[in-house]
Amino acid sequence: MTTAVYFHPYNELHEMGGKHPESPARMRTMFRAFKESGLDNVLQYRISPEATEKDIRRVHIQDMINIVKDVPDPGFYNYVDETPLNHFSWKAALRTVGAALAATDAVIDGELDNAFCVNRPIGHHSMMGTAMGFCVFNSVAAAAMYAVKVRGLKKAAIVDLDVHHGNGTEDIFAYEPSVAMASYYQEYIYPFMGNEVPRKHMLNIPVPAGTDGAAIRKIVTEQWLPFLEGQQPELIYISSGFDAHRDDPIGGMGLVESDYAWITRQLMDFADRHCQGRVISISEGGYNLDALYGSVIAHVKALARME
């Protein structure tokens, strides 16, 4: 197995001020987890390239791109919702999309078995016309759109593990059935929307606060996997939010590290059967650093087939 980790130093320089939960400490925690768990010995580290505006325009309008690009220097500019930016955020956001696209090329070309993108800023809330919810550019959406529109795959699928609904991903692919979406999300929390218009190529399942790993495993087995089999994707993307962990301060679900490992293994096994093993994981939320540390180890060890 060859599992790569994509990252760029700019991703750590993006920060939103004060004690914002989506902080650079999250990225440092993930790299400490790789080192202390022994994953360092098996992972291939790659610097994320810079995406072009053309790459981003496949999923976002130009006005949104311009707002992110035109952040005053120095200082912060809270341009929408809960997404302040500093003057490194534009460059960091270009690298998050670049990471996802580079991973897509490497996995489709058979150069890598799979990849994990350490992305900051995160992206799954960002809609076609606006960023929101700590997110800037929707890198998982940009990658999936690239896979089907540029690389010629007939179908890709995005599986979202975050406690919050990936409303941006749903928005971008609402009328694009070549990209399927499956998720669970905690109901009645941010972004206070999800699945208002059921679509045949999407299976987004709201669950109540307190939902634990046993319930999620049942959803994966009885609903996600049959749905994905019917969609026939050629590549699986994972929006890897770890804020459904029972210790996360923002979410209210009850998953633990072993649940993330189990879900990842199910998706890996599915990809082996149906997608030539192609899996690309892109980091999203997760705000308790201890829970993030353990969850990312469990997830990436499963990607690398270390357990």
Residues taking part in catalysis:
125
Q: What angle do CA 254, 255, 259 make, to 5 degrees?
A: 155
Distance CA 175, CA 258 (A): 35
3-state secondary structure the chain: CCEEEEECHHHHHCCCCCCCCCCHHHHHHHHHHHHHHCHHHCEEEEECCCCCHHHHHCCCCHHHHHHHHCCCCCCCEECCCCCEECCCHHHHHHHHHHHHHHHHHHHHCCCCCEEEECCCCECCCCCCCCCCCCECCCHHHHHHHHHHHCCCCCCEEEEECCCCCCHHHHHHHCCCCCEEEEEEEECCCCCCCCCCCCCCCEEEEEECCCCEHHHHHHHHHHHHHHHHHHHCCCCEEEEECCCCECCCCCCCCEECHHHHHHHHHHHHHHHHHHCCCCEEEEECCCCCHHHHHHHHHHHHHHHCCCC
Q: Token pair of 239, please?
A: 């929006």
d(CA 233, CA 84): 35
